[in-house]
Amino acid sequence: MIRASIIGATGYAGVDLLRLLLNHREVSLAVLTSESYAGQPISQVYPHLRGHVDKVLIKMDNIELIAAESDVVFVALPHGHAMNVVPKFLAAGVKVIDFGADYRLHDRAVYEQWYKVTHTSPQLPAVYGLPELHREAIKQAALVANPGCYTTASILAVAPLLRAGLAEHDPIIVDAKSGVSGAGRGLSLNAHYPETTENVKAYNIGGHRHTPEIEQELSLAAGAEITISFTPHLMPMSRGILATCYLRLKAGATIEQITAAYQQAYGNEFFVRLLGAGQYPATKYVRGTNHCDLAWHVDARTNHVVVVSAIDNLMKGAAGQALQNMNILFGLPETEGLRFPALYP
């Protein structure tokens, strides 16, 4: 059995991961930490877990103890905090899957520019944990940087077109909508019910911290530096992301070539469902799953291709993808613990 621990188990992503680990046939729960709720059973913090897991939460101050009891540690902490504990787990021989941004960006200067934090361990060899793009590297990794939610939806949507050379590199526009759980569990006026219900609003236009992450991975796919225009929106729903991506087609590119590019990229992927040309993904159809639904439309009048991507931000955008990465690290089927349809309605 794989002994799995969660650092920061009481955030939304951490507790969703816990739900998945409980139903994984090859996992035993080791340690659950929380700085705010230490000493309490997690089922007291999250009553929906009663009778399923009543493990008492502890603080993460004893890294050596946690490492000794773990084969893999999931670190679900805010940016700037993971870098304080990840090197210690790696030194103890424990595999790490980090939910945060500390190891996603290859360029230390870019990280420090966008996150306003000095990186203390940029030398660690992290692998960007998007399996559909980096599966072989993940197999050999000790540290996996689990991608962000907006980034997963956007990269999966756009990368095949750039890799196939069917779309121009500029402009690339990503217009994305997210449920409020993406803001985390902490109290915030922006996520307050009266502020979000019956309301849609854009935020962080041109400045969202997932922007350099998307640009990094799309640049690798294109073999050239990519700059995007990214606008996130907050939606009155608890979970889900819908990303609508606009790219100008290269001369002569056809809908048949576009379809072939997506088939080549994801035709054998269980978690990426290709709805095909002219279809409409929706967050309802991926809710609670690790799926990404993709469809594409050619606007002949403007010579653009419009790609629509839907994921659950807490699943393929966080906990589900982390478990998919764990399965790869330990040589298990990627679908283990994740093979189920969406919650519906």
Catalytic residue among 30, 76, 133, 149: 149
CA 314 – CA 319 distance, rounded (Å): 6
Using the Cα atoms of residue 268, residue 272, residue 273 and residue 277 in order, give the sign of their dihedral.
Answer: negative
Give yes or no for a contact between 301 and 139, defined as CB atoms under 8 angstroms apart.
no
User: Has 245 been annotated as catalytic?
Assistant: no
CA 110 – CA 84 distance, rounded (Å): 19
Decide the pairing of beta strands 304-311 and 292-299.
antiparallel
Give yes or no for a contact between 252 and 233, defined as CB atoms under 8 angstroms apart.
no
Listed in order, strand segments (DSSP E) in the chain are: 2-7, 27-33, 72-75, 95-98, 126-128, 143-145, 167-178, 201-202, 229-234, 241-249, 272-277, 292-299, 304-311
CA 132 – CA 219 distance, rounded (Å): 16
State the virtual CA torsion across 194, 233, 77, 340 in degrees, nearest 10: 90
Give yes or no for a contact between 286 and 311, defined as CB atoms under 8 angstroms apart.
yes
Decide the pairing of beta strands 304-311 and 241-249.
antiparallel
Omega into 171 within 30° of 0, i.e. cis? yes
Active site residues: 149
